[in-house]
Amino acid sequence: MPYLSPALNVMTTAARKAGRKLIRDFGEVENLQISLKGPADFVSVADQRTESILVGELQKARPGYNFLVEEAGVIEGPDKSHRFVIDPLDGTTNFLHGIPHFAISIGLEREGQMVSAVVYNPVTDEMYTAEKSHGAYLNDKRLRVAARRELRASLAATGIPFLGHGDHGRFEKELHAVMAVTSGVRRFGSAALDLAYVAAGRFDAFWEHDLKPWDLAAGMLLVREAGGVVSDLEGGARMLETGAVLASNEPLHPQFLKLLKEARRS
């Protein structure tokens, strides 16, 4: 059985409740694809509503905690030692296009340290949880990062910059280097799930630039509690400040770090 701290219990309950609503909205989005205007406005309302459900549930259970959330930003509370970091809908572009790959991400910091994490895909009902020093789980199953040691056998995930966002030239250099020496590269569109998949040993590595703290907070703890390594793309610990991340297992992490660094310099 998964390790369920009181905080994780509260967080999974909130994620399941918000997830039920998100699934109903997702059904509606699929219907709206054929309208000329598309479902964009509907999705931004669904996103905000999911966030309100999560914040409401968590505030009820943990009055006084602080929040950093994607839509509303900072919500201050008197308990300065605790902060929830929340992405109500990670993988918004997938959701908008009727692609069932998105998640709710909730991290809890205590004294600035990430201690509990939930990433929940309501479509597949996959609940990823982690508690600091108590391991990471997918539903009832304990997670462990993949054991692969060689780049040639590894499958990497990333995020691709898009219209008006990110450094396209830098990404082309990185992709060029990684695709030449690995088994393949995937772009699934949800950083929180990409990290959860590294924790589950599905992806051997995940790297991306320009992410926000709420994309990363919960997933980083999942990877670490599954025995993996998370750093920024210089090998440091400034993921939340720089938005750059590399998550992998112990043998592959330094290899990917070197490969990506050299690619950017080329």
Residues 64-93 interacting with ligand 2AM (rule: CB under 6 A): 87, 89-92
**Alpha carbon distance 52, 198 (integer Å):** 29
Give me the 191-220 binding string for ligand 2AM, x by CB under 6 A, dash otherwise: x----------------x-xxx--x-----
Spatial contact of 138 and 126, defined as CB atoms under 8 Å apart: yes
* Beta partners for residue 129, in sequence order: 118, 137
Taking the CA atoms of the chain, what radius of gyration do you get in angstroms?
18
| Closer Cβ to Ca ion, 215 or 225, answer by number | 215
Spatial contact of 249 and 228, defined as CB atoms under 8 Å apart: yes
| Closer Cβ to Ca ion, 57 or 87, answer by number | 87
Give me the 52-71 binding string for Ca ion, x by CB under 5 A, dash otherwise: --------------------
Interacting partner of 108 out of Ca ion, ligand 2AM, none (Cβ under 5 to 8 A depending on kind):
none
**Alpha carbon distance 195, 26 (integer Å):** 23
Smallest distance from Ca ion to CB 89, Å: 7
Q: Which residue is at the shortest CB distance from Ca ion? A: 90
Does 215 contact Ca ion by CB under 5 A?
yes
Taking Cα atoms as reference points, which of 107, 135, 208, 123 lies closest to residue 166? 208
**Alpha carbon distance 137, 145 (integer Å):** 11
**Alpha carbon distance 8, 26 (integer Å):** 25
**Alpha carbon distance 219, 244 (integer Å):** 13
Q: Which residue is at the shortest CB distance from ligand 2AM? A: 159
Residues 123-162 interacting with ligand 2AM (rule: CB under 6 A): 159
Spatial contact of 264 and 258, defined as CB atoms under 8 Å apart: no
**DSSP three-state, residue 200:** coil
Smallest distance from Ca ion to CB 109, Å: 17
| Closer Cβ to Ca ion, 146 or 244, answer by number | 244
Q: Which of 25, 51, 57, 87 binds Ca ion (CB under 5 A)?
A: 87
Residues at the contact surface with ligand 2AM, assessed by CB under 6 A: 87, 89-92, 159, 165, 189-191, 208, 210-212, 215
Q: Which spans of this chain sit near Ca ion (rule: CB under 5 A)?
A: 87, 90, 215
